[in-house]
Amino acid sequence: MIDTVIFDFDGTLADTTQLVINSFKHIYYKYYNKCDEEYIRGTFGEPLEVTLKRDFSNFKYEEVLASYRDYQVDKFEKDVKLYDTVEETLNYLKNNNFKLGIATSRVRASTLWALKNFKIDKYFEVVVAADDVIKHKPDKEPLIKVIEGLNSKTESTLYVGDSKYDMECAINAQTTPVLAGWHSNSKILAEKYNVKHVIDKMWDLIHIINEK
């Protein structure tokens, strides 16, 4: 019986896709004068620090990070929105005594700010971000840490995410993966990881839970 639902943030609860792509384009063009958007999409779900330190190893990490974040100033609140039916779904789950958490590759301060900005922080008992763990997704550590914080069990937990890192993390933690199906590569990911549950909108979670 499912009693716990844990969510990724970027691309799952909030539509940050274009903002993230544009931010990466900004720094790739700045430092390399070229950019591969498909490659950028392939890094979604990976901690920003990992991507920057790998792809910009010839430059000072702090400067590249500052360029990335400076680009986003004043753009997050204008360009980023919650996906359809997210708040209604969270409200339903909370009112029906489901335990809710976040396991994200976003840094903690940014995650907490975003949750508060969207006024959905009240729904989540435990938030585990990139700087809260040693091993990042696709390792199971972020998800297991949330599950332990919620005093839940893996077999009674759904993990909702949009990237290959999320699906692998869910499988490695032996939870039930749920794929956000509103991205261009969702069908490919569902087939690759044999994901049974693919949702078209967040409210579809309720139907999955009621079936179990």
Residues catalogued as catalytic: 8
Which residues on adjacent β-strands are paired with residue 82? Answer: 14
Q: Give the sign of the dihedral formed by CA 166, CA 172, CA 175, CA 176.
A: positive
| C-alpha to C-alpha distance for 77 and 73, rounded to whole angstroms | 9
Place of tokens 């909030």: 14
Q: Which two three-digit tokens encode residue 48? A: 């920003």
Q: Which two three-digit tokens encode residue 108? A: 């903690």
Give the Cβ contact number of residue 41 at 10 Å. 17
Helices 61-72 and 17-32, packing angle to 10 deg:
130
